[in-house]
Amino acid sequence: WYSGNNLISSSPGDTYNKSQGPLASYGQMGDSGSPLFAYDSLSEKWSLAGVTLHNNGVNGQKNNWLLLPEDYIKNIITADFDPIISFNKNSKEHMS
């Protein structure tokens, strides 16, 4: 579990306030761990910036997201995949 104490917060109970920007949203129960994407203007693409940590619902006063370093995210994704299995039609493959 990563805990770098890097948090950002929003005020979801005020979703329609212009200061929230064009992509304002709020979390619901069960949304913990949902992705937070940010637009990287240098690479000109959307990137995974963090995950929903906790929220106080539609009329709540706060949503919190845990910001995760890019290398941490890549390491977690890499660890979730098994190595590629290459098959050779001339040899027998045994799976255990």
Q: Is residue 90 part of a domain?
A: no
**8-32 burial: b if 16+ Cβ within 10 Å, else e:** eebbbeeeeeeeeeeebebbeeebe
Q: Contact 55/28 with Cβ under 8 angstroms?
A: yes
Answer yes or no: is 93 within a domain: no
Q: Check residue 45 and give its pLDDT.
A: 93
Count of domains for the chain: 1
In a domain, 18, yes or no: yes
Mean of the per-residue pLDDT values of the chain = 78
In a domain, 11, yes or no: yes
Tell me what pLDDT residue 44 has.
94
Within 1-96, residue ranges assigned H as helices are 70-79
For residue 19, the enclosing domain spans 7-78
